[in-house]
Structure 1
């Protein structure tokens, strides 16, 4: 949806009045709780070297405007946080751009240990990727990976228990629907474990694994992926939406399980990161189960020499060593997702199983963190997509290149 003028004005006003040298604004102490205010405003621009699809259209198939670009506010996140009383922490976040709640929960830390706690409310699930669990303002690339956007379970309302220390952790969560109405739902559970055998300044080695299992509430599931551009309306890679065909997942699935594996290596100003996910969908009406998977591998170099930190099994991005010059990063990522689990039936326009398509992409990116509150990103993405077409009775392709830019202000 488009952000209203009033909501946008409120978000921008909050951004402008925030002190430029702090990551958050301390408000007051209320009920022995130290309350602070944080925000994140992002604006994106995409320029497409289109192939066969008009990715600049606002609505697929109904607004083919011929534009080869999109520009829009991506996020307008407003977050209240509280510390206390005692070992209690709480957070209430809202994205005014997407009209949805973000983290909205209460946490109790045992013995004031940040890695041993119980949490109730809406939070990012352990069945999400390490990339999703990391801070959004420090994304390495404009678009998150295809497995993060398409396969993992992100925020849901539930109860979570975490036990660990600085270099290891185990998390178990039981969850239901998303807090915002008419969003994701279906009860389930998630698990995540991680271990960093090396965890010191400028030298980190991390391994992790996750598992999630959830009900589709008899509503089915639709798996699809954008061409590495978050605000694009059209998805070429798609398992389908028709409820009348056996060759789609929608309205013909029961439970969904996802297994994830992750790895991270930091050496000085260099970071190598990769994740893999495989999804299994139990199908109804005697249909064969569906399986898909995907992974990404990325490398980042802090040209200005800074290194990364490590917190709760995720990398943390430092402030610039020289705020006036900023922190410069150069990154490269390979990403792939495969939603094919079937084969065409020769001589017909039907398939056995589901053929949602496959997408491979390369992303080259440059990031500039200036001072404490500004970030500028520039990405060039090369995308290769292929999907079997029952109309053509052959594979169809769409291979756009995308120039992406993001301006970000956060406090």
Structure 2
């Protein structure tokens, strides 16, 4: 389907007409697309709103990045949506323009800044609070994770407090844990509901193809807090979506660290010597826990594959049922073994675009019509953030213990 067709069909969706004014916060890959994955908020706004979309402004600390993104957009079929877009350095400057009457109040605000500048209660991490101070009825879509900060007690505590504040906010709040919106995931949920099943166990796996990882910050857990918090958060959240709340006290985890023999990577594309040794990421992390429901769960994240495609899978078990979701970001496939047969039914959902579904739900929640359900609230997302920190802390504690034992034996 071409962009022109998308815009035409979206124009009359749910019978809505008239301009839909949007503020974009951040002009990076998640907002305007990346070769590393399907993230592209602007594309999904265009797909849902078509010619109704008016991007009034972009907030970006690096104006040249925003101007470069706008230059590309103005050379596409969606150019009309960006013809008058202005660039501002921060929320305060943009809010001044709105209060001065030169720009309308936005109908939606989409946030895709680095999580290190979000999820906090004070400068420079209080982006959400600034937005709702200026726009007390704002409808906000935020990328995940909700934060990546340290020390962990302060960062997690503040993210949960922001969640409590946003619970009382008058506008729609949606956090982009996109895998919840997969057709295959909703099929799994329906099977559980229709058969009155109780989830017994979940197993999640994300193994990264690491050569494309050329951002030095990603390999530095002092900056992005490590691969489980920054990337594994997707499958950790999906585990919670099926298993429910977690008894954090039951969680245990181990890691293959960079300095151990199995942690030696032959095709790493960054100069890891530029990263302090204590800040280098683990290569594998394996965790297990018990849900408050009584079910058990486990997760494995690895930085191990070569090539370009990650290997991702989620398994959910219930009495008589095994459901396996694979390749959720590529060509999602669901395998279902039921009490009726030892053979698995294979359901392919190739072409499913959960990013578009997610955006459609957000717009529907604002305007009505369609399916207005928001599948990830801020408070829920803050619990996933806390969960990923718990995994990192448990694995590091275990690694420290193993290192101490090794050093003790070496000096004996």
| TM-score normalised by L of structure 1 | 0.32
| TM-score normalised by L of structure 2 | 0.32
**Higher helix residue share:** 2
